Structure 1
């Protein structure tokens, strides 16, 4: 059973909108749902995908102050602190937007 709520995609989309589709940590402008993805390679699309991170690492705690928009690289960095077994493929990447 998922620890994410049924309306997770809507919550994540709202956090990304509030961040103007920019990474909180590095400031990279990430892809928006309406962007033409055909001009980007798969690697670039993955790199420019904005994800939503839970500061306390608890996906069931979706209070706005616990959520932040991060690019794939920055999100992975937060999850790899002290852990060496997490790979980029283990973080859910939704290239079509939440």
Structure 2
């Protein structure tokens, strides 16, 4: 899903980059070392490298609150899990096997 930049401040790319650099290109949740921009090894498939893309997350889920204390870096897997747990339309137990 493409990022809708109209929901973010004009300098979002710079803010996001500064958060990821400040965190040493590591996920603040799982500690995984993620790839820097342009660093993805060509010998890896998309499925092999896509989980190691570092993203910037708003802790309060409000993309207009861009204070440094509200921004953190998460790998794409942890970021997906954080949002899934917050916004999932699936009820607990709904996917259990019978």
TM-score bin, normalised by smaller chain: 0.7 to 0.9
Find the aligned partners of 2:64 and 2:31 in 1 and give their Cα distance.
26
Residue 48 of structure 2 aligns with which residue?
A: 44
Structure number, greater radius of gyration: 2
Residue 20 of structure 2 aligns with which residue?
A: 16
Gaps of 5+ in 1: 87-98
Find the aligned partners of 1:65 and 1:36 in 2 and give their Cα distance.
29
* 2:77 is the alignment partner of 1:73: yes
For CA contacts below 8 A with separation 6 or more, give which structure has more relative contact order. 1
TM-score by length of structure 1 reads 0.79
TM-score by length of structure 2 reads 0.79
* 2:44 is the alignment partner of 1:27: no
SS at match of 2:16: helix
Gaps of 5+ in 2: 91-98
The root-mean-square deviation of aligned C-alpha atoms, in Å, is 1.8
- CA distances 1:52-98 after superposition (whole Å, capped 9, x unpaired): 00001011110000000000110011101153349xxxxxxxxxxxx
**Residues 6/29 of structure 1: CA separation in 2 closer, same or farther (3 Å cut):** same
**Residues 56/35 of structure 1: CA separation in 2 closer, same or farther (3 Å cut):** same
Number of aligned pairs? 86
